[in-house]
């Protein structure tokens, strides 16, 4: 075998499948050369990878179908826990008010013809106010500094039967030894306050209403709703806490406190007469 044939034989041996004829001449195998064989292998691998990718996509789809409901349930539980925590915050403040003043905060008696029974003075009573006379009117400011309002605006919000607050002090400042008590202890966030067009603020749950239940003025609002920023129709709308201490029906010896929160199209009522939220027909 000459040197050239020996070289071809060694090359074929490395390739693993070459042949030589009787004269020692080298012949390529029936398979394509190395470069072509690699391209064929890559083509086969690409086809296999496409199948694998389709299988993976299908598996991801199945997992997503299982995970999304779980995620939704977790979010729903988180929202409910948030509403319960805010309820307990208000309940605690009401108890502090009663222990300091000897009675529960007054409610809005809803004068005949008043259109919105969802606004009450609970925020002002729990926060405590100072009042003073200026420009022929009486003005009130909450101890947390989040609201200043006059007697006329109070009557617009609550009706002519209410023009002031019980938990208040005269003179524009709270002096040492005053009977004014900030029962909320500064723990109230801005998103827990709604506001009427006249600037009267009231307690709301910080969970916004679904967009479909919000409105653009002057259309009447969804029952139990309040807007944090009345200067913007894009601002979030929240559900108002309702309060009844003059004629409670669920807690005859104390007061009724409740709020309706819309979750997944259902009205969830959080109240001080039920530990958990109760599904009701409408707010």
> Looking at residue 95, what is its pLDDT?
96
> Looking at residue 175, what is its pLDDT?
44
Q: Which residues of the chain have pLDDT under 50?
A: 16-18, 26, 28, 41-42, 174-177, 218, 220
Tens digits of per-residue pLDDT, 161-186?
787 899 998 865 544 445 788 998 76
Tokens for 155, please give them: 């009557």
Q: Cα–Cα distance between 262 and 240 in angstroms, integer? A: 12
> Looking at residue 130, what is its pLDDT?
92
> Looking at residue 174, what is its pLDDT?
46
> Looking at residue 87, what is its pLDDT?
96
* Residue 169 buriedness (CB in 10 A; 0-12 / 13-18 / 19+): middle
> Looking at residue 177, what is its pLDDT?
44
| Most distant pair of Cα atoms in the chain: their distance | 126
The pTM for the full model equals 0.70
The domain segmentation of the chain, as residue ranges, is: 69-280
Own/partner contacts of 64-73, CB < 8 Å, gap of 24 or more, are: 72/264
> Looking at residue 90, what is its pLDDT?
96
Torsion of CA 229, 182, 89, 189, to 10 degrees: 30
Q: Are strands 168-170 and 193-195 parallel, antiparallel or unpaired?
A: unpaired
SS3 of 219, please? coil
């Amino acid at each position: 075998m000459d040197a050239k044939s020996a070289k071809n034989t060694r090359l074929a041996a490395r390739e693993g499948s070459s042949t030589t004829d009787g004269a020692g001449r080298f012949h390529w195998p029936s398979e394509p050369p190395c470069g072509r064989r690699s391209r064929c292998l890559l083509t086969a691998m690409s086809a296999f990878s496409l199948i694998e990718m389709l299988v993976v996509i299908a598996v991801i789809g199945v997992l997503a179908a299982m995970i999304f409901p779980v995620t939704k349930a977790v979010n729903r539980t988180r929202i409910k826990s948030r509403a319960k925590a805010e309820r307990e915050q208000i309940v605690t403040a009401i108890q502090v008010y009663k222990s300091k003043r000897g009675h529960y905060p007054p409610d809005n008696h809803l004068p005949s013809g008043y259109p919105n029974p969802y606004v009450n003075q609970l925020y002002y009573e729990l926060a405590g106010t100072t009042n003073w006379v200026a420009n022929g009117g009486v003005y009130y400011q909450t101890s947390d500094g989040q609201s200043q309002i006059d007697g006329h605006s109070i009557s617009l919000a609550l009706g002519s039967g209410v023009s002031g607050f019980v938990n208040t002090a005269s003179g524009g400042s709270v002096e040492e030894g005053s009977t004014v008590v900030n029962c909320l202890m500064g723990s109230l966030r801005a998103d827990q306050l709604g506001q009427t067009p006249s600037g009267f603020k009231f307690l709301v749950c910080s969970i916004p209403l679904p967009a479909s239940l919000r409105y653009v003025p002057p259309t009447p609002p969804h029952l139990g709703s309040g807007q944090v920023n009345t200067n913007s129709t894009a601002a979030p709308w929240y559900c108002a806490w309702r309060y009844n201490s003059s004629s409670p029906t669920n807690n005859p010896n104390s007061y009724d406190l409740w709020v309706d929160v819309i979750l997944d199209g259902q009205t969830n009522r959080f109240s001080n007469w039920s530990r958990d939220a109760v599904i009701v027909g409408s707010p």
